[in-house]
Amino acid sequence: MSLSCARCGHHIPVRGLETAEARAQLGGAARESRVRAIQWLVANHGYDITDGKVIMNHITGEAMSGERQCYKCGSTDIEDGVPCPQCRSLVLDW
Ligand SMILES: [Zn+2]
Ligand SMILES: [Zn+2]
């Protein structure tokens, strides 16, 4: 599977992150250290560093419960993995 962001035009291959568990693990790692989270993707799932960085750029700064907000424009009512209706950024709330 893959995700794409209409705002920045990135197309992101997703490998090894199909489950909610793996996504939560990556989200937690990303909020602690983006560099380490990228290394984890490279070592465990064969990502290249560029794709890893792109994923990091789309993960929300905090895991959100209830109301989800776009990290880019602040719009609310965002769905996970779906582009923001305002600015078209892909929002990964992992
Ligand atoms: Zn983007
Ligand atoms: Zn937005």
What would the 3-class secondary structure string for the chain be? CEEECCCCCCEEECCCCCCHHHHHHHHHHHHHCHHHHHHHHHHHHCCCHHHHHHHHHHECCCCCCCCCECCCCCCECCCCCCECCCCCCECECC
Lowest-confidence region among 4-8, 38-42, 63-67: 63-67
**Could you tell me if residue 28 is inside a domain?**
yes
Residue 74 CA to ligand 1 center (angstroms) comes to: 15
Note the pLDDT tens digit of each residue in 64-93: 666 788 888 999 888 888 889 999 999 998
Q: What is the pLDDT of residue 68?
A: 82
Q: Which residue has the higher pLDDT, 60 or 41?
A: 41
| Cα of 6 from ligand 1 centre, angstroms | 7
Q: Which ligand is nearest to the CA of 3?
A: 1
Residue 19 placed within a domain? yes
Query: What's the structural domain count of the chain?
Result: 1
Average pLDDT, the chain: 89
Domain, as residue range, for 8: 2-58
CA 12-83-62 angle, 5° bins: 85
Identify whether 87 is part of a domain: no
- Whole-structure pTM value: 0.85
Task: Look at residue 44 and tell me if it is in a domain.
Answer: yes
What share of the chain has pLDDT > 90, as a percent? Answer: 61
Query: Has residue 25 been placed in a domain?
Result: yes
How many A from CA of 31 to the centre of ligand 2?
A: 20
Ligand 1 center–CA 5 separation, angstroms:
4
Question: Is 64 part of any domain?
Answer: no
**How far, in Å, from the CA of 58 to the mean position of ligand 1?**
6
